[in-house]
Structure 1
Amino acid sequence: MSTLQSYGWNHHFEQHFQSFQSQGFEAARLAAIQGFKHVLISDTGPLDALLAGALLNSREPEALPKVGDWVVFKRYDQEGIIIEVLPRINELSRKAPGSVSDRQVLAANIDGAFIIQGLDRDFNLMRVQRYLQQVVQCGIPPIVVLNKADLTDNAEAFREAVEQLGYQCPVLLTSALSNEWQELWSREHLLPQHTYVLMGSSGVGKSTLLNSLLGYRLQEEGATSTANNKGKHTTTSRNLVSLPNGSMIIDTPGMREFGLTHEEGASVTYHPLIDELATQCRFSDCTHQHEPGCAVIAAAGNGTLPGLVYRSYLKLLREQHHFQASAADKKRHERHCGKISKQVVRHRKDTKY
Structure 2
Amino acid sequence: MTTLQSYGWNEHFMRHFQINPFPNLEAARVLSIQGFIHLLITETGHMDAQLAGTLINSRESETCPKVGDWVLVKRYEEEGMIIDTLPRLNELSRKAPGSQSARQVLAANIDGVFIVQGLDRDFNLMRLQRYLHQIVQCNIQPVVLLNKKDLVPDPETYRQQVLDLGYSCPVVLTSALYPMLQSEWTSQYLQPQQTYILLGSSGAGKSTLLNNLLGYQLQKEGTTSAANNKGKHTTTARHLVLLPNGSMIIDAPGMREFGITVEAGKESANHPLIEELAPQCRFGDCTHQHEPGCAVIAAFNNGSLPELVYRSYLKLLREQYHFQASESDKRRDERRFTKMAKQIFKHRKNRKY
What's the TM-score once normalised by structure 2's chain length?
0.98
Asked if the contact 1:288–1:294 (Cα under 8 Å) also holds between the matched residues in 2, the reply is yes
Letter in 2 for 1:64: C
Deviations 1:48-83 (A, max 9, x none): 001000001110110110000000010112111000
8 Å CA contact 2:29, 2:68 repeated in 1: yes
Q: Which residue of 1 aligns with 2:286?
A: 286
Letter in 2 for 1:170: P
Determine whether 1:85 maps to 2:118: no
Structure 1 segment 45-64 matched on structure 2, within 5 A: 45-64=45-64
Q: Distance in 1 between matches of 2:238 and 2:40?
A: 13
Q: What is aligned with 2:343?
A: 343
Structure 1 unpaired stretches of 5+: none
In structure 2, the residue matched to 1:29 is 29
Q: Is the partner of 2:47 in helix, strand or coil?
A: strand
Q: Is the 8 A contact 1:137 1:267 kept in 2?
A: no
Structure 1: distance between partners of 2:297 and 2:267: 23
**Does the CA-based 8 Å contact 2:269-2:320 persist in structure 1?**
no
Per the alignment, residue 118 of structure 2 pairs with 118
Give the distance between the partners of 1:327 and 1:267, measured in 2 at CA. Answer: 14
> 2: distance between equivalents of 1:214 and 1:185?
15
Q: Is contact 2:269–2:313 with CA below 8 Å preserved after alignment?
A: no
**In structure 2, distance between residues paired with 1:62 and 1:283:** 37
Name 1:17's counterpart in structure 2.
Answer: 17
The residue aligned with 1:296 is 296
Say whether the 8 Å CA contact 1:220–1:234 is kept in structure 2: yes
Cα contact 1:32–1:39 (8 A) shared by 2? yes
Q: Give the distance between the partners of 1:57 and 1:266, measured in 2 at CA.
A: 30
Work out whether 1:67 is the aligned partner of 2:67: yes
The whole-number CA distance in structure 1 between the counterparts of 2:67 and 2:300 is 41
Runs of 4 or more, structure 1, over 6 Å off, are: none
**Once the 2 structures are TM-superposed, how far is the Cα of residue 269 of structure 1 from its aligned partner?**
5.7
CA distance in 2, matches of 1:335, 1:276: 40
How big is the shift at 1:267?
8.0
The answer (yes or no) to whether the contact 2:268–2:320 under 8 Å persists in 1 is no
CA deviation vs aligned residue, 1:106-148 (integer Å, no higher than 9, x gap): 0000000000001012210111100000000011100000000
Task: Kindly provide the amino acid, as one letter, of the partner of residue 150 in structure 2.
Answer: D
Paired with 1:197 and 1:266, the residues of 2 have a C-alpha distance of 23
Q: Which has the higher mean CA deviation after the structures are superposed, 95-104 or 211-220?
A: 95-104
Cα distance between partner residues in 2 of 1:317 and 1:158: 26
The separation in 2 between residues aligned to 1:58 and 1:11, in whole angstroms, is 27
Secondary structure in 2 aligned to 1:279? helix
Instruction: Tell me, yes or no, if the aligned pair for 1:239 and 1:250 is still in contact at 8 Å.
Output: yes
Residues 269 and 317, structure 2, Cα contact 8 Å, conserved in 1: no
Q: Distance in 2 between matches of 1:184 and 1:270?
A: 32
Structure 2 partner of 1:208? 208
> How far is the alpha carbon of 1:102 from its aligned partner?
1.2
Give the CA deviation at 1:263: 1.0
On the 8 A contact 1:101/1:327 being kept in 2, the answer is yes
Looking at structure 2, the residues matched to 216 and 269 of structure 1 have their Cα atoms a distance apart, in angstroms, of 41
Q: What secondary structure sits across from 1:134 in the alignment?
A: helix
> Post-superposition shift, 1:268?
5.9
How far the C-alpha of 1:309 sits from its partner, in A, is 1.2
The letter of the residue matching 2:42 is S
- The letter of the residue matching 1:23 is P
The 5 A counterparts of 1:325-340 are 325-340=325-340
1:265 is displaced (CA, Å) by 3.4
Number of matched pairs? 353
What SS does the aligned partner of 1:20 have?
Answer: coil
Distance between the aligned counterparts of 2:117 and 2:51, measured in 1?
36
What is the CA-CA distance between 1:22 and the residue it aligns to?
A: 7.1
| Alignment match, 1:183 | 183
Higher mean displacement: 97-106 or 287-296:
97-106
Q: Which residue does the alignment assign to 2:317?
A: 317
CA distance in 2, matches of 1:171, 1:251: 19
1:7 and 2:4 correspond:
no
Distance 1:38 1:96 in 2: 21
Aligned equivalents of 1:336, 1:156: Cα separation in 2:
56
What is the TM-score normalised by the length of structure 1?
A: 0.98
Aligned-residue offset at 1:23:
1.3
Is 1:226–2:226 an aligned residue pair?
Answer: yes
Which residue is equivalent to 2:245?
Answer: 245
Distance 2:159 2:320 in 1: 27
SS of equivalent to 1:68: coil
Equivalent residues of 2:235, 2:254 under 8 A apart: yes
CA distance in 2, matches of 1:13, 1:266: 26
**Residues 146-186 of structure 1: CA distance to partner in whole angstroms, max 9, x if unpaired?**
00011011111111110111111000010011100000000
Cα RMSD (Å): 1.2
1:127 matched to 2:164: no
Q: Does the CA contact (< 8 Å) of 2:31 and 2:68 recur in 1?
A: yes
